[in-house]
Amino acid sequence: MASDPLPINDRIVIAGWELTEQFVLAGGPGGQNVNKVATAVQLFFPIATSPSLPERIRDAAIRLAGRKVSKEGVLMIEASRFRSQERNREDARERLKALILEAALPPPPPRRKTKPTRGSVERRLKEKSGRGAIKRMRGRPEGD
């Protein structure tokens, strides 16, 4: 169980009791150490029921996380990039922080519908009729 809280920004702090860590064997480089020491970290965060996150950010984070969220609403981040357990632990916490920061971004402004200009419409129609004329010239000659 992770005891230290994870500050996301000045308004959002995830309490330490919400984060659960599990250490597992990792593949990859490390020689015999890989077979003996559990260096990979699985960080579990109950994102769907977390009181630390506002509803808008929670919904956006669940959408961004995709398949990393279980049916029960628990987000799992697995970190095994580094050889040491501590660096993998920091990496998992940083990835959780980045996900929530991305979810906290304001939504993009709505798209404003625009019409094509009259000149662009005329140029497009002229180009279409020109292409049609070229293709008509490729056909069989008409008998007179």
> What digits encode the pLDDT tens for the residues 46-61?
988 888 888 998 899 9
Residue 99 token pair: 């996900």
Q: Is residue 100 part of a domain?
A: yes
| 21 within a domain of the structure (yes/no) | yes
Residue 1 lies in a domain: no
Please state the domain count of the chain.
1
Residues 6+ positions from 28 with CB-CB distance below 8 Å: 34, 80
The CATH number for 95's domain is 3.30.160.20
Mean of pLDDT values over 3-25: 84
Whether residue 125 lies inside any domain: the answer is: no
103-135 per-position pLDDT tens digit = 989 988 999 999 999 999 999 999 999 999 999
Burial of 43 (0-12, 13-18, 19+ CB in 10 A): buried
Q: What is the pTM of this model?
A: 0.70
pLDDT at 128: 97
Report residue 37 CA to chain centroid gap. 30
Residue 116 included in any domain: no
Give pLDDT, residue 27.
73
81 within domain boundaries: yes
What per-residue confidence (pLDDT) applies to 29? 66
Residue 94 pLDDT level (bands cut at 50, 70, 90): very high
Whether residue 30 is predicted with pLDDT greater than 80 in this model: the reply is no
**Domain of 58?**
6-104
From the number of C-beta atoms within 10 Å of its C-beta (0-12, 13-18, 19+), residue 31 rates as exposed
Q: How far apart are CA 65 and CA 25, in angstroms?
A: 24
Averaged pLDDT score across all residues of the chain: 87
Q: Look at residue 37 and tell me if it is in a domain.
A: yes
% of the chain residues with pLDDT over 90: 34
